Amino acid sequence: MNECTKVIVFNSHGVGMYVTLPRLPNEGETLRGRNWRMEDDGGKGSNFAVALGRLKVSTAFVCRVGGDLFARMGRDWMTAAGIDLSHYEMSPEIHTGVGLVMLLPNGSNTILCSERRKCPMAAYEVAAAFHDYPNAKYFVTGFEIGVDDPLEAARLAKERGLTVLLNPSPLPDYELAPMPFVDYLFINEVEARGLLGGEYEDAANRVRQKYEVGAVILTLGAEGSVLCDKTGTSKFDAPKVEAVNTTGAGDGYMAAFTACLVWGNDPDTAARRANVYAAHTVTVDGTISGYPQLGELKF
């Protein structure tokens, strides 16, 4: 039992393979990629956990991964960040996920992640882990490990009184039902269009109403972010920086926002500070390497 843990994370761990392209290929086209490499880039769950750990927020990571090199890499990254891994299960019966990150010259990215037909850990197993973290206040999850179990785990977390934060990426190929148990829904512009059937006008407010979530945080890359809750919609500008690699910036934004909530900040302040944090991450070539330690960045 860890009575210090404030945040429980239930999402993916995988390892990113990187390639730099002059542009995205067209259908049927072959392009030469350069600088193929394996990076210190986890899945959305482990990226988020490491970023939060480096901000000295007591965090537990709950997931089942393979008994392989990629799983050991994640264990090492998160251990170094001070993450509680009591429920990080390594199983030889499954394979740890892998992603392909395609980087463009302007620092933007497109990501392919491995398919999961079934979540590697059931919601009831996650709920059992809740008992080991009696003072946790926040539950963070997402769809890189499937859809049904993360949503059910989020519902169970809400029943226990936790604040629920969800990143629904990658979106499923079917329409989601309302999610009234979600307090904060984090999406980008592409995901907003996906949730609204291709439309975008007044996206944050329309997503909030359609899916019945408490608040929507719409990240806009270099343009900052939008926060929409029952009090209204606010836009927050991001600092202007020279982007080198935008991979993991959204995970970092969500981590910084969550940290601010843990520290007692209101959502508007959390959004402003998260913009500054995310802007810093894109100036570093790498994902986990771009997440600063607490005190290294004033935000």
Name residues whose C-beta falls within 8 Å of residue 170's C-beta, 6 or more positions apart in sequence.
113, 143, 144
Q: Going by DSSP bridges, is the β-strand pair 184-188/215-219 parallel, antiparallel, or unpaired?
A: parallel
- As a whole number, mean pLDDT of residues 180-184 equals 99
Mean pLDDT of the 192-197 span: 96
**Distance (Å, rounded) from C-alpha 118 to C-alpha 286?**
29
Overall average pLDDT of the 153-164 stretch: 98
CB 41 within 8 A of CB 47: yes
pLDDT of residue 116: 61
The Cα 157–Cα 105 span in angstroms is: 41
Residue where the block lists tokens 């993991």: 248
pLDDT at residue 109 is higher than 90? no
- Calculate mean pLDDT across residues 143-156: 96
User: Above pLDDT 70, what percent of the chain?
Assistant: 99
* 37, 18 Cβ separation under 8 angstroms: yes
Report angle CA 57, 273, 296 to the nearest 5 degrees.
60
CA distance 13 to 190: 23
Residues in the chain, overall count: 299
Predicted confidence (pLDDT) at residue 215 exceeds the cutoff of 60: yes
pTM over 0.85: yes
From CA 108, how far away is CA 128, in angstroms rounded? 39
Inform me whether the pLDDT recorded for 117 exceeds 70: no
Q: Among 93-107, 146-160, 237-251, 278-292, which is the least confidently predicted range?
A: 93-107
pLDDT at 41: 81
pLDDT at 275 over 80: yes
Residue whose token pair is 């499954």? 94
pLDDT tens profile 244-260? 888 899 999 999 999 99
Distance, in Å, from the CA atom of 123 to the CA atom of 147, rounded to the nearest integer, reads: 11
pLDDT in tens, 25-72: 999 999 999 888 887 888 899 999 999 999 999 999 999 999 999 999
Q: Domains in the chain and their CATH numbers? A: 7-23+34-290 (3.40.1190.20)
55 and 256 in contact (C-beta within 8 Å)?
Answer: yes
Which residue is associated with the tokens 């009575």?
3
Query: 240 is written with which tokens?
Result: 């202007």
From CA 217, how far away is CA 235, in angstroms rounded?
10
Q: Collapse the DSSP code of 297 into the 3-class scheme (helix H, G, I; strand E, B; otherwise coil) and give the result.
A: strand
Cα separations in angstroms, 53 against 57, 77, 82, 253, 279:
5, 10, 6, 14, 19
SS3 93: coil
Higher pLDDT among residues 109 and 219, named by residue: 219
Q: CA gyration radius for the chain?
A: 18
> pLDDT band for position 110 (50/70/90)?
confident
Residue 143 has pLDDT above 90, yes or no: yes
- Average pLDDT taken over every residue of the chain: 94
User: Whose structure tokens read 């148990």?
Assistant: 181
Place of tokens 């009591």: 86
> How many C-alpha atoms does 89 have within 13 Å on its Cβ side?
15
